[in-house]
Amino acid sequence: MQIIPAIDLKEGQCVRLIQGQKDQVTVYSNDPVSTALRWQSCGASFLHIVDLDGAFSGKQKNFESIINIRKAIKMIIQVGGGIRDIERIDLLISSGIDRVILGTAAIERPGLIFEASKKYPGKIFVSIDAKNSFVAVKGWIETTNIGAIDLALKMQDYGVGGIIYTDILRDGMLTGPNIETIQQMVEALDIPVIASGGISSIEDIVKLAKIKGLWGAITGKALYSGKLDLRDAIELVKGG
């Protein structure tokens, strides 16, 4: 299982939100590049970046910061937030971004998912953000009546490289991940699943690592608050 540190960008700063609420912001750093370098020095192989301004507005606002990070580090980078068309996907991948994450588009423009997955095999991931097992979109503002697993199965059929599954009610709360729903998602799919939301301690990493087939886990607030040591988490999963 891969441990993937997260950088959430808002107005060029590294921040964290509570349950995705844009008015519940904690700023952790005004230097995203140094933050990325810090996580790389801890041994991380992957970095998860979300353009929060893009997620809320529908248009990427932190592209410059993302590219500055890309130039500075060797980690595999996956980027989401405000990506709504094939032109933006082309730009990100041609700029060296390894994986592009689509969220709202999975509901509103499923044809884009199919087109992008065919054009960039293995590079298109879909972020499924759920509240009480139902999909939320547009920066988690709107909750749909679409089941998270139902959408994941549809996206698998469309050829996406993997699913990033976030339990919104756990995100930023440091209350521990929802092991049961993550396991259900992993068991339902044949493609990689990355869990996100609620990781608060090394004990949570232990629990996630016991989910057979879980590809990775994204952690943000626990790292920034000091509740989880990234190097320790990486060494733990490497050691089995």
Catalytic position from the list 8, 51, 53, 167 = 8
Angstrom distance (rounded) from CA 42 to CA 230 = 6
Beta carbons within 10 angstroms of residue 236's beta carbon:
16
Angstrom distance (rounded) from CA 198 to CA 219 = 8
Catalytic position from the list 53, 129, 171, 204 = 129
129 is catalytic: yes
The owner of tokens 């700063």 is 13
Convert 17-32 to b/e letters by CB count within 10 Å (16 or more is b): beebeeeeeeebeeeb
8 is catalytic: yes
**Structure-token pair, residue 86:** 């094939």
Instruction: Name the β-bridge partners of 14.
Output: 9, 29
Instruction: Name the β-bridge partners of 47.
Output: 77
Angstrom distance (rounded) from CA 36 to CA 135 = 29
Q: Which residues form the catalytic set? A: 8, 129
